[in-house]
């Protein structure tokens, strides 16, 4: 009978630091032993895992076509084929009648990731067609470490040029001459810090900009108008924007507003009332952002004119624009709202049918398009791509993600609940279940994140139906630290307020138990990355409240990581967690860090997943945490570590590989919760 891996202990404050020795034979042997232990522990579930995989796969339309995107003389689209891990990229001539009808006899294959992956890991960074539609610039990560190789394909001949640059961040931005590319370079901490200009046919690249402050990331992209290039430099709290006429790639960049600590602003270029203009979203008058306009010729901050004032009750999250007007992405009461400002007409909001949902502008299409595309989905409603006519507000569902086999959205109930935290704050919960499941305690899967101001808006999942059909309830805890209720909600769950995230999650769990949705013996929790920190912290605080936990690429060694500025992302993360070189911050982080606070108590059954090539959360965070748990815990529940030795932060890259990972997690939950293995 195999034995659970026992990690050797070294002396010092961090007894498992030896697991940080990447590629050391003893480290690889330990990770492989953990993987073998997981397979041995779950050996009786092989048939169930295959059943779940086939079940989930059976709901997904394996051969499908994406919605074509019109641009210039072409329609661009993707096609998935049964058996392939990745969609292929195509284009065909655009019909003269303005429809989206495909001329498959004249279609061109632009890129086949299945051929490029050759069975291994593959992630596409940039996929950028040149303005003259003659070339494709793309970048590939073949290990999962988010370092990319750059390529340019001549679409007429099929010739591919491998650009001779290393340590690239994957970005590739065309100037309007269709011969000049701007790309980013990573520094030793995996931070995009330099922007280069490369002219096709030349050997090297010219350095355009270098960002010396380790808190700031650099990115370059085309404005909505396609007339300007934008260089954004931003930290977690401050930003700075430089712009360049896309017709003059050799020209000098202009700064819209020099950086000022705690001033964030984001600009886009378009037309307003017939004049080329800049629209700028800025927090200079309030944390929820206001909207400003500046002329093309005088874009500096002194010339910004307010279009929409700051609103304490409503967050301005984004602006999308084209020749037909602009669209505001707002957030109020924990829900996203779209407000349309058509050119020459009164603004109007969009009306939506569900209590909790996800809604955002998916594509503003060509600048002169009279329509834009929205993506809308709910926990019980598959994603829809809706076309919105800006001038009239008319909506048309162009495509709904199909669910193969029997499926009725009305068979599921989607709810918005509110828990109350210890300080009286009301915490939103989004929830879905089959109608007949509600009314008595049921197995419940509670998910959380709560960091970086990211909003976990409800999303539909084909795979999740396998849990719901087995009597599960699925819920999302929208804890402080996320962005669901605006910037103040985010700030109330970061830095010195980080423990609010943990208390909120526990309050949500207690509320779901108290209201009869579940019980502590049926409650499973899950989170990934910074959400893994959330899971690790609440397990240390209230382990008895939960029956099972899944932590994916968990940021659990936060104190040690934040003390190592040579690691990717550490310096820029000071604005989120604090700099532990300050003794007060050190003690604050140490008080909640999951790894440091493992103690002798009974923990629930746990499945922990890591990626060996993960550049954001190093594999050793999960490995060290599990080793410490094995040495300290007083229970005998399953404690399993799975390290994907050929993947990074996002796990395995292929769609079938990802489904097999989900099947493993679901089978684990059915086993540890004592549910039927079918």
User: Would you list the DSSP string of 460-529?
Assistant: --TTTHHHHTTT-EEEEE--BTBSTT-HHHHHTTSGGGTHHHHHHHHHHHHHHHHTTS--TTSEEEEEET
Beta bridge partners of 526: 447, 550
Identify the segments of the chain with pLDDT beneath 70. 1-2, 11-12, 648-653
What's the pLDDT score for residue 677?
84
Q: What gap in Å lies between CA 474 and CA 464, rounded to an integer?
A: 8
Half-sphere exposure of 211 (CA within 13 A, CB side): 29
What's the pLDDT score for residue 1?
42
What's the pLDDT score for residue 11?
59
Strands 444-448 and 523-528: parallel
CA dihedral 3, 635, 645, 39 (to 10 degrees): 50
Residues annotated catalytic, as ranges: 529, 614, 649
**Residue 46: Cβ within 10 Å count:** 11
Burial 478-503 (b: 16+ CB within 10 A, else e): bbbbbbbbbbebbebbbbeebebbbb
- Residue 125 near residue 171, CB atoms below 8 Å: yes
The pTM assigned to this predicted structure is 0.93
Q: What gap in Å lies between CA 398 and CA 194, rounded to an integer?
A: 40
Residue 439 buriedness (CB in 10 A; 0-12 / 13-18 / 19+): exposed
Per-residue tokens: 243: 């712009």
Beta bridge partners of 320: 327
Beta bridge partners of 428: 418
Residue 352 buriedness (CB in 10 A; 0-12 / 13-18 / 19+): middle
Residue with tokens 């009239």: 392
Cα of first residue to Cα of last residue in the chain, in angstroms, is 25
Number of helical H runs and strand E runs in the chain:
12, 37
Per-residue tokens: 124: 């596409």
What's the pLDDT score for residue 12?
67
Q: What gap in Å lies between CA 406 and CA 416, rounded to an integer?
A: 26
What's the pLDDT score for residue 540?
98
Q: How far is CA 475 from the centre of its chain?
A: 19
CA distances from 663 to 57, 472, 560, 667, 669 (A): 10, 15, 33, 6, 10
Q: What gap in Å lies between CA 64 and CA 534, rounded to an integer?
A: 37
- Residue 144 near residue 123, CB atoms below 8 Å: yes
What's the pLDDT score for residue 652?
65
Q: What gap in Å lies between CA 611 and CA 616, rounded to an integer?
A: 10
């Amino acid at each position: 009978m195999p034995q659970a891996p026992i990690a050797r202990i070294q002396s010092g404050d961090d007894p498992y630091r030896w697991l940080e020795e990447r590629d050391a034979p003893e480290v690889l042997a330990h990770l492989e032993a953990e993987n073998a232990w997981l397979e041995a522990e779950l050996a009786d579930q092989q048939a169930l895992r295959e059943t779940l995989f086939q079940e989930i796969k059976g709901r997904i339309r394996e051969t499908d076509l994406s919605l074509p995107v019109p641009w210039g003389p072409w329609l661009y689209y993707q096609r998935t084929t049964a058996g392939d891990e990745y969609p292929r990229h195509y284009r065909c001539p655009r019909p003269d009648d303005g429809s989206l009808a495909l001329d498959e006899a004249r279609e061109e294959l632009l890129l086949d990731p299945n051929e490029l992956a050759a069975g291994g890991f593959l992630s596409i960074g940039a996929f950028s067609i040149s303005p003259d539609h003659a070339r494709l610039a793309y970048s590939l990560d073949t290990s999962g470490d988010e370092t990319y190789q750059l390529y340019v394909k001549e679409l007429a001949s099929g010739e591919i040029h491998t650009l001779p640059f290393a340590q690239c961040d994957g970005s590739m931005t065309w100037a309007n001459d269709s011969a000049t590319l701007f790309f980013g370079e990573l520094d030793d901490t995996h931070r995009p810090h330099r922007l280069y200009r490369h002219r096709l046919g030349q050997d090297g690249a010219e350095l355009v900009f270098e960002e010396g402050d380790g808190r700031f990331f650099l990115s370059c992209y085309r404005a909505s108008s396609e007339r300007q290039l934008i260089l954004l430099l931003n930290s977690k709290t401050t930003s700075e924007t430089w712009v360049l006429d896309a017709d003059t790639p050799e020209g000098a960049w202009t700064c819209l507003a020099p950086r000022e600590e705690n001033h964030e602003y984001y600009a886009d270029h378009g037309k307003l009332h017939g004049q080329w203009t800049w629209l700028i979203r800025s927090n200079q008058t309030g944390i929820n952002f206001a909207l400003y306009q500046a002329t093309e010729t005088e874009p500096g901050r002194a010339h910004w004119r307010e279009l929409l004032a700051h609103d304490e009750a409503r967050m301005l999250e984004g602006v999308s624009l084209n020749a037909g007007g602009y669209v505001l992405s707002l957030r109020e009461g924990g829900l996203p709202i779209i407000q349309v400002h058509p050119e020459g007409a009164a603004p109007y909001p969009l009306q939506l049918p569900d209590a909790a949902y996800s809604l955002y502008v998916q594509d503003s299409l060509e600048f002169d398009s009279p329509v834009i595309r929205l993506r809308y989905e709910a926990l019980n409603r598959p994603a829809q791509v809706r076309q919105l006519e800006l001038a009239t507000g008319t909506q048309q569902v162009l495509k709904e993600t199909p669910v193969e086999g029997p499926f009725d959205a009305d068979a599921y109930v989607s709810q918005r609940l509110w828990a109350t935290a210890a300080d009286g704050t009301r915490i939103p919960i989004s929830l879905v279940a089959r109608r007949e499941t509600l009314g008595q305690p049921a197995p419940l899967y509670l998910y959380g994140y709560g960091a970086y101001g990211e909003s976990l808006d409800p999303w539909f999942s084909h795979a999740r139906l396998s849990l719901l059909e087995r009597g599960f309830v699925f819920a999302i805890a929208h804890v402080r630290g996320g962005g669901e209720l605006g910037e103040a909600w985010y700030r109330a769950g970061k830095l010195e307020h980080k423990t609010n995230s943990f208390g909120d999650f526990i309050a949500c769990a207690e509320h779901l138990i108290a209201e009869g949705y579940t019980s502590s013996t049926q409650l499973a929790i899950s989170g990934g990355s910074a959400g893994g920190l959330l899971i690790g912290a609440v397990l240390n605080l209230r382990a008895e409240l939960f029956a099972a936990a899944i932590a994916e690429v968990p940021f659990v060694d936060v104190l040690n990581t934040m003390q190592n500025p040579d690691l990717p992302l550490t310096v820029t993360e000071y604005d989120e967690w604090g700099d532990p070189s300050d003794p007060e911050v050190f003690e604050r982080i140490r008080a909640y860090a999951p790894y440091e606070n493992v103690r002798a108590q009974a923990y629930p059954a746990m499945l922990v997943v890591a990626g060996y090539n993960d550049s954001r959360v190093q594999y050793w965070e999960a490995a060290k945490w599990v080793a410490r748990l094995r040495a300290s815990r007083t229970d005998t529940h399953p404690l399993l570590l799975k390290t994907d030795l050929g993947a990074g932060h996002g796990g395995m890259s292929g769609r079938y590989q990802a489904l097999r990972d989900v099947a493993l997690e679901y089978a684990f939950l059915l086993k540890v919760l004592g549910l039927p293995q079918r």
